[in-house]
Structure 1
Amino acid sequence: MKPQVFRSKAAWLFGWFWMLFAAWNVWDLTAHGRMPSALIAGAVLGVITALVFVMALRPAVVVEEGGVRVRNVLRNAYVPWNGVDDVSVTNAIVIESGDTTVRCWTPQATARERVRAAGRPPRRPSRRTRPSGRRPRPSAPVPTPTGWPTSSPR
Protein backbone atom coordinates (compact mmCIF):
# COMPACT_ATOMS: atom_id res chain seq x y z
CA MET A 1 0.00 0.00 0.00
CA LYS A 2 1.33 3.39 -0.96
CA PRO A 3 1.34 5.78 2.03
CA GLN A 4 -1.31 8.49 1.83
CA VAL A 5 -0.32 11.95 3.04
CA PHE A 6 -2.96 14.33 4.40
CA ARG A 7 -2.05 17.96 5.02
CA SER A 8 -3.48 21.44 4.77
CA LYS A 9 -3.44 22.46 1.12
CA ALA A 10 -3.42 26.17 1.90
CA ALA A 11 -0.48 25.83 4.30
CA TRP A 12 1.41 23.66 1.82
CA LEU A 13 0.94 26.21 -0.99
CA PHE A 14 1.88 29.09 1.30
CA GLY A 15 5.00 27.20 2.44
CA TRP A 16 6.25 26.57 -1.08
CA PHE A 17 5.44 30.13 -2.11
CA TRP A 18 7.53 31.35 0.82
CA MET A 19 10.41 29.00 -0.10
CA LEU A 20 10.48 30.47 -3.62
CA PHE A 21 10.33 33.99 -2.18
CA ALA A 22 13.18 33.19 0.24
CA ALA A 23 15.33 31.63 -2.53
CA TRP A 24 14.87 34.72 -4.69
CA ASN A 25 15.79 36.96 -1.73
CA VAL A 26 18.91 34.91 -0.95
CA TRP A 27 20.03 35.30 -4.56
CA ASP A 28 19.29 39.04 -4.42
CA LEU A 29 21.17 39.47 -1.13
CA THR A 30 24.25 37.65 -2.44
CA ALA A 31 24.24 39.47 -5.78
CA HIS A 32 23.39 43.02 -4.69
CA GLY A 33 23.53 43.23 -0.89
CA ARG A 34 26.08 45.13 1.23
CA MET A 35 27.79 43.01 3.85
CA PRO A 36 26.41 44.15 7.26
CA SER A 37 22.83 44.72 6.13
CA ALA A 38 22.80 41.62 3.91
CA LEU A 39 23.86 39.44 6.87
CA ILE A 40 21.12 40.85 9.10
CA ALA A 41 18.49 40.48 6.38
CA GLY A 42 19.72 36.95 5.64
CA ALA A 43 19.51 35.96 9.30
CA VAL A 44 15.95 37.30 9.62
CA LEU A 45 15.01 35.57 6.36
CA GLY A 46 16.54 32.30 7.61
CA VAL A 47 14.63 32.38 10.91
CA ILE A 48 11.32 33.15 9.19
CA THR A 49 11.96 30.42 6.59
CA ALA A 50 12.68 27.87 9.33
CA LEU A 51 9.41 28.81 11.07
CA VAL A 52 7.45 28.56 7.82
CA PHE A 53 8.93 25.12 7.14
CA VAL A 54 8.16 23.84 10.63
CA MET A 55 4.62 25.25 10.73
CA ALA A 56 3.47 24.96 7.09
CA LEU A 57 5.40 22.24 5.27
CA ARG A 58 6.23 19.70 7.97
CA PRO A 59 2.83 18.90 9.60
CA ALA A 60 1.14 15.90 7.98
CA VAL A 61 -0.81 12.77 8.73
CA VAL A 62 0.69 9.79 6.88
CA VAL A 63 -1.49 6.70 6.64
CA GLU A 64 0.69 3.62 6.15
CA GLU A 65 0.06 -0.10 5.99
CA GLY A 66 1.07 -0.72 9.59
CA GLY A 67 -0.42 2.37 11.20
CA VAL A 68 -0.68 6.12 11.14
CA ARG A 69 2.29 8.48 11.44
CA VAL A 70 1.60 11.99 12.67
CA ARG A 71 4.19 14.69 11.92
CA ASN A 72 3.40 17.66 14.12
CA VAL A 73 5.45 20.82 14.38
CA LEU A 74 8.19 19.55 16.70
CA ARG A 75 7.56 15.82 17.12
CA ASN A 76 6.57 12.66 15.30
CA ALA A 77 4.14 10.07 16.61
CA TYR A 78 3.43 6.62 15.23
CA VAL A 79 0.36 4.65 16.24
CA PRO A 80 -0.05 1.10 14.86
CA TRP A 81 -3.53 0.19 13.66
CA ASN A 82 -4.05 -2.41 16.36
CA GLY A 83 -3.26 0.23 19.00
CA VAL A 84 -5.85 2.79 17.85
CA ASP A 85 -8.65 2.97 20.43
CA ASP A 86 -10.58 6.04 19.30
CA VAL A 87 -10.37 8.74 16.66
CA SER A 88 -12.33 11.96 17.08
CA VAL A 89 -12.48 14.69 14.49
CA THR A 90 -13.45 18.25 15.37
CA ASN A 91 -11.25 21.17 14.38
CA ALA A 92 -8.31 18.77 14.74
CA ILE A 93 -7.86 15.01 14.57
CA VAL A 94 -7.31 13.35 17.96
CA ILE A 95 -6.07 9.75 18.02
CA GLU A 96 -6.28 7.89 21.32
CA SER A 97 -4.17 4.80 21.95
CA GLY A 98 -4.19 3.48 25.50
CA ASP A 99 -2.93 6.29 27.75
CA THR A 100 -1.50 8.24 24.82
CA THR A 101 -3.39 10.96 22.99
CA VAL A 102 -2.01 12.32 19.73
CA ARG A 103 -3.43 15.59 18.42
CA CYS A 104 -2.85 16.28 14.72
CA TRP A 105 -2.32 19.76 13.33
CA THR A 106 -3.62 18.83 9.92
CA PRO A 107 -5.65 18.64 7.77
CA GLN A 108 -8.13 21.49 7.92
CA ALA A 109 -11.07 20.51 5.76
CA THR A 110 -12.87 23.12 3.73
CA ALA A 111 -16.66 23.37 3.82
CA ARG A 112 -16.87 21.76 0.38
CA GLU A 113 -14.76 18.80 1.54
CA ARG A 114 -16.91 18.36 4.67
CA VAL A 115 -20.10 18.30 2.59
CA ARG A 116 -18.59 15.80 0.16
CA ALA A 117 -17.46 13.57 3.03
CA ALA A 118 -20.93 13.67 4.59
CA GLY A 119 -22.42 12.34 1.36
CA ARG A 120 -24.81 15.23 0.82
CA PRO A 121 -24.94 17.23 -2.38
CA PRO A 122 -23.90 20.85 -1.84
CA ARG A 123 -26.78 23.20 -1.18
CA ARG A 124 -27.80 25.14 -4.24
CA PRO A 125 -29.37 28.56 -4.00
CA SER A 126 -33.10 28.50 -4.62
CA ARG A 127 -34.69 30.40 -7.47
CA ARG A 128 -36.05 32.93 -5.06
CA THR A 129 -32.68 33.96 -3.63
CA ARG A 130 -30.75 36.86 -4.95
CA PRO A 131 -27.07 36.50 -5.90
CA SER A 132 -26.19 38.10 -2.56
CA GLY A 133 -27.88 35.17 -0.80
CA ARG A 134 -30.76 37.19 0.67
CA ARG A 135 -34.38 36.48 -0.11
CA PRO A 136 -36.28 39.29 -1.84
CA ARG A 137 -38.56 41.34 0.32
CA PRO A 138 -42.24 40.62 -0.17
CA SER A 139 -43.86 43.40 -2.09
CA ALA A 140 -46.44 45.56 -0.40
CA PRO A 141 -50.02 44.42 -0.99
CA VAL A 142 -51.71 46.24 -3.80
CA PRO A 143 -55.00 47.78 -2.76
CA THR A 144 -57.82 46.16 -4.67
CA PRO A 145 -61.50 46.90 -4.83
CA THR A 146 -63.64 44.65 -2.67
CA GLY A 147 -64.58 41.41 -4.27
CA TRP A 148 -61.56 41.17 -6.57
CA PRO A 149 -59.13 38.30 -6.09
CA THR A 150 -55.97 39.37 -4.23
CA SER A 151 -53.65 36.86 -5.89
CA SER A 152 -53.40 35.59 -9.41
CA PRO A 153 -53.98 31.88 -10.07
CA ARG A 154 -50.88 29.93 -11.00
Structure 2
Amino acid sequence: MDRLRQRADFLAVANGARVNSPAFVLQSLDRRSLGRDDLGPVRIGFTVTKKNGNAPERNRIRRRLRELVKRLDPVSMQPHHDYVLVGRRGALSRDFTTMLDDLRIAITKPARHTAKGSDNGSDKGRRPNPRPGPAASRKPD
Protein backbone atom coordinates (compact mmCIF):
# COMPACT_ATOMS: atom_id res chain seq x y z
CA MET A 1 0.00 0.00 0.00
CA ASP A 2 1.44 3.34 -1.08
CA ARG A 3 0.83 6.85 0.20
CA LEU A 4 -0.68 9.77 -1.70
CA ARG A 5 1.67 12.71 -1.53
CA GLN A 6 0.90 15.08 -4.41
CA ARG A 7 -1.84 17.70 -4.28
CA ALA A 8 -3.19 16.71 -7.70
CA ASP A 9 -3.86 13.19 -6.44
CA PHE A 10 -5.72 14.51 -3.39
CA LEU A 11 -7.82 16.79 -5.59
CA ALA A 12 -8.68 13.92 -7.93
CA VAL A 13 -9.87 11.77 -5.03
CA ALA A 14 -11.91 14.69 -3.64
CA ASN A 15 -14.07 14.52 -6.78
CA GLY A 16 -14.80 10.84 -6.17
CA ALA A 17 -17.15 9.06 -3.80
CA ARG A 18 -17.30 9.77 -0.08
CA VAL A 19 -18.57 8.12 3.08
CA ASN A 20 -19.07 10.12 6.27
CA SER A 21 -18.28 9.00 9.79
CA PRO A 22 -18.18 10.94 13.09
CA ALA A 23 -14.37 10.70 13.22
CA PHE A 24 -13.44 10.96 9.53
CA VAL A 25 -14.61 11.23 5.94
CA LEU A 26 -13.43 8.50 3.58
CA GLN A 27 -13.01 9.67 0.00
CA SER A 28 -12.31 7.10 -2.70
CA LEU A 29 -11.63 7.06 -6.41
CA ASP A 30 -11.26 4.20 -8.87
CA ARG A 31 -8.20 5.18 -10.92
CA ARG A 32 -9.50 3.21 -13.90
CA SER A 33 -12.48 5.60 -14.10
CA LEU A 34 -10.04 8.36 -15.05
CA GLY A 35 -9.18 6.55 -18.26
CA ARG A 36 -5.83 5.34 -16.98
CA ASP A 37 -4.70 1.75 -17.16
CA ASP A 38 -3.24 2.13 -13.71
CA LEU A 39 -2.78 -1.30 -12.18
CA GLY A 40 -0.68 -0.05 -9.28
CA PRO A 41 -1.32 -0.79 -5.63
CA VAL A 42 -3.93 0.82 -3.41
CA ARG A 43 -2.83 4.29 -2.35
CA ILE A 44 -4.00 6.17 0.71
CA GLY A 45 -3.63 9.75 1.92
CA PHE A 46 -4.39 11.53 5.17
CA THR A 47 -5.41 15.11 5.76
CA VAL A 48 -6.59 17.14 8.74
CA THR A 49 -7.58 20.80 8.35
CA LYS A 50 -6.60 23.60 10.71
CA LYS A 51 -10.18 24.01 11.92
CA ASN A 52 -9.73 20.73 13.83
CA GLY A 53 -7.38 22.25 16.39
CA ASN A 54 -3.79 23.22 16.89
CA ALA A 55 -0.82 21.32 15.48
CA PRO A 56 -0.48 18.70 18.26
CA GLU A 57 -4.20 17.88 18.03
CA ARG A 58 -4.07 17.61 14.23
CA ASN A 59 -1.00 15.38 14.44
CA ARG A 60 -2.73 13.14 16.98
CA ILE A 61 -5.75 12.80 14.67
CA ARG A 62 -3.44 11.97 11.76
CA ARG A 63 -1.55 9.36 13.82
CA ARG A 64 -4.81 7.70 14.85
CA LEU A 65 -5.96 7.56 11.21
CA ARG A 66 -2.65 6.02 10.11
CA GLU A 67 -2.93 3.39 12.83
CA LEU A 68 -6.47 2.56 11.70
CA VAL A 69 -5.21 1.84 8.20
CA LYS A 70 -2.33 -0.27 9.54
CA ARG A 71 -4.76 -2.44 11.48
CA LEU A 72 -7.20 -2.74 8.59
CA ASP A 73 -6.99 -5.83 6.44
CA PRO A 74 -5.50 -4.66 3.09
CA VAL A 75 -7.62 -7.21 1.23
CA SER A 76 -10.77 -5.29 2.22
CA MET A 77 -9.65 -2.31 0.14
CA GLN A 78 -10.60 -2.39 -3.51
CA PRO A 79 -7.70 -2.75 -5.94
CA HIS A 80 -6.77 0.17 -8.22
CA HIS A 81 -8.34 2.67 -5.84
CA ASP A 82 -7.06 5.78 -4.12
CA TYR A 83 -8.39 6.63 -0.66
CA VAL A 84 -8.14 9.81 1.40
CA LEU A 85 -9.06 9.91 5.08
CA VAL A 86 -10.07 13.42 6.11
CA GLY A 87 -9.83 13.64 9.88
CA ARG A 88 -12.49 15.26 12.02
CA ARG A 89 -12.25 16.54 15.56
CA GLY A 90 -14.33 13.58 16.75
CA ALA A 91 -11.32 11.35 16.10
CA LEU A 92 -9.70 12.70 19.27
CA SER A 93 -12.39 11.42 21.61
CA ARG A 94 -13.90 8.48 19.71
CA ASP A 95 -13.03 4.96 20.88
CA PHE A 96 -10.37 3.41 18.65
CA THR A 97 -12.18 0.10 18.11
CA THR A 98 -15.33 1.99 17.14
CA MET A 99 -13.32 4.01 14.62
CA LEU A 100 -11.87 0.80 13.20
CA ASP A 101 -15.37 -0.62 12.78
CA ASP A 102 -16.45 2.65 11.13
CA LEU A 103 -13.58 2.36 8.66
CA ARG A 104 -14.38 -1.26 7.83
CA ILE A 105 -18.00 -0.32 7.17
CA ALA A 106 -17.02 2.77 5.15
CA ILE A 107 -14.78 0.75 2.82
CA THR A 108 -17.41 -1.88 2.12
CA LYS A 109 -20.35 0.54 1.96
CA PRO A 110 -21.51 1.76 -1.43
CA ALA A 111 -20.32 5.33 -1.41
CA ARG A 112 -22.24 8.42 -2.43
CA HIS A 113 -20.68 10.02 -5.48
CA THR A 114 -20.31 13.78 -5.14
CA ALA A 115 -18.49 14.79 -8.28
CA LYS A 116 -18.59 18.44 -9.23
CA GLY A 117 -20.87 19.21 -12.13
CA SER A 118 -23.21 16.30 -11.46
CA ASP A 119 -26.88 17.00 -10.95
CA ASN A 120 -27.10 16.49 -7.22
CA GLY A 121 -29.66 19.17 -6.43
CA SER A 122 -27.26 22.04 -6.82
CA ASP A 123 -28.22 25.40 -8.23
CA LYS A 124 -26.69 24.59 -11.59
CA GLY A 125 -28.76 26.06 -14.39
CA ARG A 126 -30.99 28.12 -12.11
CA ARG A 127 -31.30 31.84 -12.42
CA PRO A 128 -30.45 33.93 -9.40
CA ASN A 129 -33.25 36.01 -7.90
CA PRO A 130 -33.10 39.57 -9.22
CA ARG A 131 -32.20 42.16 -6.63
CA PRO A 132 -34.57 45.04 -6.20
CA GLY A 133 -33.20 48.26 -7.58
CA PRO A 134 -33.12 51.55 -5.66
CA ALA A 135 -36.57 52.56 -6.89
CA ALA A 136 -38.17 49.27 -5.89
CA SER A 137 -36.77 49.38 -2.38
CA ARG A 138 -38.39 52.75 -1.50
CA LYS A 139 -41.70 52.90 0.27
CA PRO A 140 -44.57 54.42 -1.71
CA ASP A 141 -45.56 57.94 -0.63
TM-score class normalised by the smaller sequence: under 0.3
Which is bigger in relative contact order (C-alpha 8 A, separation at least 6)? 2
TM superposition score normalised by structure 2: 0.25
TM superposition score normalised by structure 1: 0.24
